């Protein structure tokens, strides 16, 4: 089950955290993987680890907010692999604050990566998928797509857009062999969270980490590997009857 042999997968934001876990798992399941990240050194390190484990991967630096960079990257992937079967739109950034604490520059910065980036990568990937009869797209949305989260105005706005883009693409391409779903995690223990705690709560990291963990009825944050396992299911043939759906992975937040 969950075999990705013969498939080519592109994962954005794959230099660390959730994206790196997805790239590593997909390669282990037989996919040839493009590790795409704005941090070239980070993506190269993930590729090195995949290759040491016997997987097939290449690293590409790309700022998903820049149209020319995305077009170049996906053209390069087509030349390198000859096809594209899976796209995981994982690249994203965050912001803490209410609408009063969100400047226009903050809003534009999040929109550029979290919304325009998903649009650009999906728009570049779909023609490549259609050349070979279809494919699968998984977008990383958020629990903030489904419920209100305090002090996350701009972030919630962008992840709501990811959710509705997912539904739109799923509907428009359901007859053309492309499935599109999104994953809606609550908080995930990643280097991003560690950096967030260091920046906003210096000296209180352990205290605030416990607060973040307590937000979930299960009493902890998710791991990147748990999110990657859900992404694997959605991108595998075992999920061939699933499209247009938002999958929470939230430690019980929605039922609390």
| Marked catalytic residue, from 155, 173, 215, 247 | 155
pLDDT tens by residue, 131-168: 999 999 999 999 999 999 999 999 999 999 999 999 99
Return the pLDDT at 78.
97
DSSP per residue over 194-206, as a string?
HHHHHHHSTT-HH
pLDDT in tens, 191-238: 888 888 898 889 999 999 999 999 999 999 999 999 999 999 999 999
Would you give the distance in Å from CA 47 to the centre of its chain?
17
Closest CA to 113 of 72, 143, 158, 163: 158
If you write DSSP's letter for every residue of 138-175 in order, what string do you get? Answer: EEE--GGGTS--TTBHHHHHHHHHHHHHHHHHHHHHTT
Specify the CATH superfamily of domain 8-186+223-246.
NAD(P)-binding Rossmann-like Domain (3.40.50.720)
Tokens 């994203």 found at: 92
Instruction: Round to whole Å and give the CA distance between 129 and 180.
Output: 12
pLDDT tens-digit series, residues 28-82: 999 999 999 999 999 999 999 999 999 999 999 999 999 999 999 999 999 999 9
- What the block records as the tokens of 175 is 């007859």
**67: which 2 tokens?**
């149209």
- Cα angle: 63, vertex 7, 38; to 5 degrees: 10
* Of 239, 195, 252, 235, nearest in space to 31 by CA: 235
Q: Taking the CB of residue 100, how many other CB atoms lie within 10 A of it? A: 7
Q: What is the pLDDT of residue 195?
A: 87
Give tens-digit pLDDT for 105-118: 999 999 999 999 99
Task: Calculate the CA dihedral of residues 65, 247, 32, 80 and round it to 10 degrees.
Answer: -30
Residue closest to 2 by CA, chosen among 246, 247, 239 = 239
CB 42 within 8 A of CB 65: no
Task: Name the β-bridge partners of 179.
Answer: 136
How open is the CA angle 72-74-80, to the nearest 5 degrees?
100
CB within 8 Å of 180: residues ≥ 6 apart: 136, 137, 138, 139, 166, 169, 170, 173, 243, 244
Asked if residue 256 has pLDDT above 90, the reply is: no
Specify whether 215 is catalytic.
no
C-alpha 220: how far from chain center: 21
| CA atoms lying within 13 Å on the CB side of residue 183 | 28
Say if residues 251 and 218 touch (Cβ distance below 8 Å). yes
Q: Where in the chain is the domain with CATH 3.40.50.720?
A: 8-186+223-246
Residue 106: its pLDDT value, please? 97
Largest interatomic CA distance in the chain: 54
Q: What are the C-alpha distances in Å from 204 to residues 12, 188, 194, 200, 201?
A: 31, 19, 12, 9, 5
Averaged pLDDT, 237-252? 98
């Amino acid at each position: 089950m969950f075999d990705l042999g013969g498939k080519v997968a592109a994962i954005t934001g794959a230099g660390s955290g959730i994206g790196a876990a997805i790239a590593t798992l997909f390669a282990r399941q037989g996919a040839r993987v493009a590790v795409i990240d704005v941090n070239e050194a980070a993506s190269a390190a993930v590729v090195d680890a995949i290759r040491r484990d016997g997987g097939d991967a290449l690293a590409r630096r790309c700022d998903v907010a820049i149209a020319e960079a995305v077009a170049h990257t996906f053209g390069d992937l087509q030349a390198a692999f000859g096809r594209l079967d899976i796209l995981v739109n994982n690249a994203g950034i965050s912001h803490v604050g209410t609408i009063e604490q969100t400047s226009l520059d903050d809003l534009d910065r999040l929109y550029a990566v979290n919304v325009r980036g998903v649009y650009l990568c999906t728009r570049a990937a779909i023609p490549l998928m259609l050349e070979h009869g279809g494919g699968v797209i998984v977008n990383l949305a958020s629990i903030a797509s489904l419920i209100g989260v305090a002090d996350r105005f701009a972030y919630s706005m962008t992840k709501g857009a990811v959710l509705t883009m997912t539904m739109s693409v799923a509907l428009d391409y359901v007859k053309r062999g492309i499935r599109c779903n999104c994953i809606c995690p609550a908080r995930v223990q990643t280097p991003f969270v560690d950096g967030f705690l260091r920046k906003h709560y210096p000296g209180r990291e352990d205290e605030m980490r416990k607060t973040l963990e307590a937000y979930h009825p299960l009493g902890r944050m998710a791991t990147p590997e748990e999110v990657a396992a859900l992404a694997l299911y959605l991108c595998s043939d075992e999920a061939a009857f699933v499209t247009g759906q938002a999958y929470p992975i939230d430690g019980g937040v929605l039922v609390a």
